[in-house]
A and B are shown apart, each in its own frame.
Chain A
């Protein structure tokens, strides 16, 4: 019972931490939509009422760095602005599918053409779903179109954006976030420790179906899913299962479904899910053989999905110690910062809801901003809210592109980091420290991907030679990791020379 409790708590905290940065972006964007773009501007940016509405929605969605949790407040705001449900669906299902970071990562996988094929199939499917919904349930669209009292330019408008963002972190919407995160708890109950390690073999006809059971309730960020797909390619796992994971795992979660059901009836949401999941499964089985890839290791066994199964055996000793250890291991600094900001904003939202309940902050900001007039007109230029809104949105897109250059540093820098991580990994193998060794081997493997993307970003191309050198190194790291996990430390140590040689060849391929 203790193991189950701590296991579920661990999965809940891990999912919350993982989603914090993209949820933060989601709530801030919702504020921008309301007070900078306004309802009219929001409808226009999503091409409401035109044929380009749905493609425009998914194109915008793919450029914004949000996850399936972060799209919920945006979907709220889109509905409030009166955007059609088809466009909301297109945005909500594709925005988490890719973002610039995950797409670049995906393109370095052994077969980038498969990732492009996955993306194309998903976009076509989402377009058809959106059009179908708008056509079938025309009476249901558009949304309520609530006009908000405009706030004039100045600090008041920025405060208005903040107020809306805080409001989206309290109240009934919290329930949808919790429902979304509870999907991971559900999986933790369904799948015992390690049960997902050998489920997705290439020749297993059930692999896409098992993935379907996992992908609908799961909540994960686009980057996590993309790295899991990368791992599936390395292990030569079922390509149909990989597609199912991408299409449903990133785009759909239980919270989003609950929100759809609340706004558009349970029956319609169920039909939507049935059609979407059914189409994804058909595509998955259709591509299973023609697009199959041979992995660089000889077995389908992978730990990529361990984060969705129960973390602790019921008989495991020291569960609390393992809980703390795993939590410390998985909590990234940027996630903790984002979660802290969200916590602060939630407190502000609660204060607004309970302490200032007699005051409508947005109304007050609107009134107080009317009297504001600039004395220095030449310096304090008036910019329409739509221009500011667009600047914020495209600024975010530009920032995420710039972020790619930070996340994927120059090859020399990545190679330097790889050297340090290799030293830590190999010394952990030598000292038989299984947890540290596997964590560093995972990190080492991830750095080889960053190396490829970093080079590609700066040079515009990546040769087959370089790709192969990295793949060979990853193959050795995988073998070393599995051997270490099996407790065969001597066998893992024997691989040290091969790993060093493969590393040297990678360095020569990228720097010479």
Chain B
């Protein structure tokens, strides 16, 4: 548990140091804009962050990119997607809370997000020369299990939306 917490903290720290410059693809993130008033520059305060289903799709894409890089033994190419996926995973609980999923479903999403953060944190640790860093293959199953949970909840949300519309 302590070790998990350590990996999550280290991964978060890396994300913080890296900054948000390459963090999130804003293509799907609503109509963000920036402007000035009173001489102060404002950023993106009109648009919502990415929705839950969009986030899950993006996480899957980044997971695939990381896996491909490791499979091709081209690990350096996995480093950027690894940091980007951290930002995406970090947004999952709030994005899930913007849907009508039940508390039990939301708790599963939260658990899956924590699990993803821990797994990718371990892989990231390898890039930073940490002894406890691991290859992607060692956490692949955990990642897959967590993503399966997230995808199940996408279906829960979409069927709930359909019911509401009907």
Residues of chain A touching chain B, judged by Cβ–Cβ distance below 8 Å, are: 193-194, 197-198, 203, 289-290, 292, 294, 296-299, 301, 463-465, 468-469, 471-472, 475-476, 478-479, 482-483, 485-488, 491-492, 494-495, 498, 501-502, 505, 509
Interface stretch, picked from B72-80, B90-98, B118-126, B135-143, is B90-98
Is B13 among interface residues, defined by CB-CB distance under 8 A? yes
User: In the complex, how many residue pairs between chain A and chain B have their CB atoms under 8 Å apart?
Assistant: 78
CB-nearest residue of chain B relative to A194? B38
Q: Is the interface of B mostly helix, strand, loop or mixed?
A: mixed
Q: Give 4 nearest A-B pairs by CB, closest first.
A: A468-B97, A482-B45, A299-B43, A298-B44
Q: How far is the CB of B47 from chain A (nearest CB, A)?
A: 8
| From B40, B93, B98, contact of A502 by CB (8 A) | B98
Residue-wise interface mask of B (14-45) relative to A, using a CB-CB cutoff of 8 A (1 in contact, 0 not): 00110100000000000010010111111111
Cα distance, A468 to B39, chains bound together (Å): 33
The answer to whether B90 touches A483 (Cβ under 8 A) is: no
Is B46 among interface residues, defined by CB-CB distance under 8 A? yes
The answer to whether B110 touches A487 (Cβ under 8 A) is: no
Q: Do A491 and B40 form a contact, CB below 8 Å, given A463-B103, A509-B103?
A: no
| From B13, B42, B48, contact of A301 by CB (8 A) | B42
CB-nearest residue of chain B relative to A478? B45
The answer to whether B45 touches A498 (Cβ under 8 A) is: no
Q: How far is the CB of B97 from chain A (nearest CB, A)?
A: 4
Within 8 A of A (CB), among B94-137: 94, 97-98, 100, 103, 106-107, 110
6 A-B pairs (CB sep. < 8 Å): A193-B38, A194-B38, A469-B97, A471-B97, A482-B45, A483-B45
Residues of chain B touching chain A, judged by Cβ–Cβ distance below 8 Å, are: 9, 13, 16-17, 19, 32, 35, 37-49, 90, 93-94, 97-98, 100, 103, 106-107, 110
Q: Do A465 and B107 form a contact, CB below 8 Å, given A289-B16, A485-B37?
A: yes
Q: How far is the CB of B125 from chain A (nearest CB, A)?
A: 17
Q: Do A483 and B46 form a contact, CB below 8 Å, given A294-B90, A468-B93?
A: yes
User: In the complex, given contacts A194-B38, A299-B45, A301-B45, what are 14 additional A-B residue pairs having Cβ atoms less than 8 angstroms apart?
Assistant: A193-B38, A198-B40, A289-B17, A294-B90, A298-B45, A299-B43, A464-B93, A465-B106, A468-B97, A483-B45, A486-B35, A486-B42, A488-B35, A491-B46
Cα distance, A472 to B94, chains bound together (Å): 6
Cα distance, A88 to B58, chains bound together (Å): 58
Cα distance, A482 to B41, chains bound together (Å): 11
The answer to whether A464 touches B45 (Cβ under 8 A) is: no
Q: How far is the CB of A136 from chain B (nearest CB, A)?
A: 39
The answer to whether B44 touches A299 (Cβ under 8 A) is: yes
Cα distance, A269 to B90, chains bound together (Å): 46
Using Cβ atoms and an 8 Å threshold, which residues of chain A touch B13? 289-290
Q: How far is the CB of A423 from chain B (nearest CB, A)?
A: 22
The answer to whether A298 touches B43 (Cβ under 8 A) is: yes
Of B9, B16, B44, B98, chain A has the most CB atoms within 10 Å of the CB of B98
Using Cβ atoms and an 8 Å threshold, which residues of chain B touch A471? 94, 97
CB-nearest residue of chain B relative to A488? B46
Q: How far is the CB of A312 from chain B (nearest CB, A)?
A: 13
Q: How far is the CB of A396 from chain B (nearest CB, A)?
A: 39
| From A301, A463, A479, A509, contact of B40 by CB (8 A) | A301
